[in-house]
A and B are shown apart, each in its own frame.
Chain A
């Protein structure tokens, strides 16, 4: 314990620009998470709708796709994409990344990482969205059809607005998981916060101040806890606010570390 709290072991935080360096790395993680989330939501919605299409072949193939990518480890996908994507794609990324983007994005591996993150998370999101849509009572779509709305209209104006609202909590918890998962891209040599942490621990040639591995990663862990905890608090507050405004208790779809939590389980 005294080793952990010994102030001389924490001195690295205020030495040089270590603090800023780590913080900037952490921002890169958050940015990667947000970019991956935006694309995952779009792809996820398409996958969820394909899975609910009345054509059984399309629905089956979409279901197979979702189950495949949902059940593989994310780190497996990241490593595979880093090795298997054609070099020309990576080169194309490196050439087209604007010069002002942070150094971490200059590496073509960022593209591979994003592909893997979106493949995996869109499958999870698709499942969340499908559960949100299926959780609506059948009467809703039947009523819409009886009123003369087409399939498309009933989806757009009746089913999706209600179903997607129910998936907000699960999506936020998936964003938290995604946030944590961005640390995995350090394994394919993208200089986000984990890499930067390792660089800080090994770069005490110029100063006498040692940056112990334990303390650096405790600090990085703290950053994640603060941001992710705030996110989950925010989502709980939004949920409560919505309930107050609409006067109904929304039956939400919960998330659990990449897995769905069904209503009866909560």
Chain B
């Protein structure tokens, strides 16, 4: 029975998979927090009423969106270490993934703000609401709705991209890294990779369901 063999394989290496899984989850959560913070800041720069700030935000987005994540990881870990900065694998990994995804988050947030019609903002201002109130009661609630789906997509992309960190930085045992260690111990490539795939599909599947639930809850009914 191949199914039973798979299950006993998982039982044998349960600890490795659980520790790898939890490292991946933590890595994604930390990086997502960084990406949201950076992305909000950059999006604010890009919609600010100052051409200088706009350009600064634009340069950030175009740089981090067009550079491979692996290059960022090399710069932030090996590069900075060689330069004498004592950076650890967790910091380098989550900062790279966070800054990289931050550029995409900024774009998603910006287009969310722009999706709210100009007429609505003008209407609310002419009704005597302050700029702050307009932002809080008119723009942001609507922008939030349109932003759920792209942010969910970015979360899924981030889960997948997190696998690059464990492969390139030696000290971080994420799910894929642990699976590779299992392979090198047992030489059972298919079984070891099967369970890593299950782990990743579990995470991306959960993220998809979460986004769908949120979308349904906050959907605009027409």
Contacts and interface: CB of A to CB of B under 8 A. Distances in A.
B12 interface: no
6 contacts: A3-B83, A83-B189, A180-B67, A264-B146, A265-B112, A266-B111
B169 interface: no
B187 to A, nearest CB: 10
A225 B163 contact: no
A62 to B, nearest CB: 18
A72 B68 CA distance: 18
Interface stretch (B42-50, B133-141, B149-157): B149-157
A259 B154 contact: yes
Interface in B97-125: 101, 104, 107-108, 111-112, 115
B196 A76 contact: yes
B193 A84 contact: yes
B164 A260 contact: no
B104 A256 contact: yes
Contacts of B205: 71
- Closest 10 CB pairs between A and B? A259-B153, A214-B79, A228-B66, A73-B163, A180-B68, A73-B160, A71-B204, A183-B68, A221-B71, A183-B70
Contacts of A72: 160, 197, 200-201
Nearest to B100: A257
Nearest to A214: B79
Interface of A: 3, 68, 71-76, 79-80, 83-84, 176, 180-181, 183-184, 186-187, 194, 197, 212-215, 217-218, 220-221, 224-225, 228-229, 232, 256-262, 264-266
Nearest to B197: A72
A186 B82 contact: no
A235 to B, nearest CB: 13
A136 to B, nearest CB: 20
Given A212-B82, A265-B149, A229 B66 contact: yes
Nearest to B157: A257
A213 B200 contact: no
B54 interface: no
Contacts of A75: 163-164, 167, 176
B111 A71 contact: no
B190 interface: yes
Nearest to B164: A75
Contacts of A256: 104, 107-108, 150, 153-154, 157
Given A72-B197, A180-B68, A214-B80, A259 B63 contact: no
Interface in B40-88: 62-63, 65-72, 74-75, 78-80, 82-83
Interface string B174-195: 0010001001000001100100
Contacts of B112: 265
Given A256-B150, A260-B153, A76 B176 contact: yes
A176 B67 CA distance: 10
Contacts of B150: 256, 259, 261, 265
A76 B200 contact: yes
Contacts of A3: 83
Given A71-B204, A76-B197, A262 B149 contact: yes
Which of B104, B111, B115, B164 has the most A CB atoms < 10 Å from its CB?
A: B164
Nearest to A258: B157
Contacts of A186: 70
A170 to B, nearest CB: 12
Nearest to B72: A221
A219 B149 CA distance: 35
Contact of B189 (A68, A84, A232, A265): A84
Contacts of A225: 62-63, 66-67
Contacts of B101: 257
Given A213-B78, A257-B153, A257-B157, A79 B176 contact: yes
A10 to B, nearest CB: 14
B191 to A, nearest CB: 11
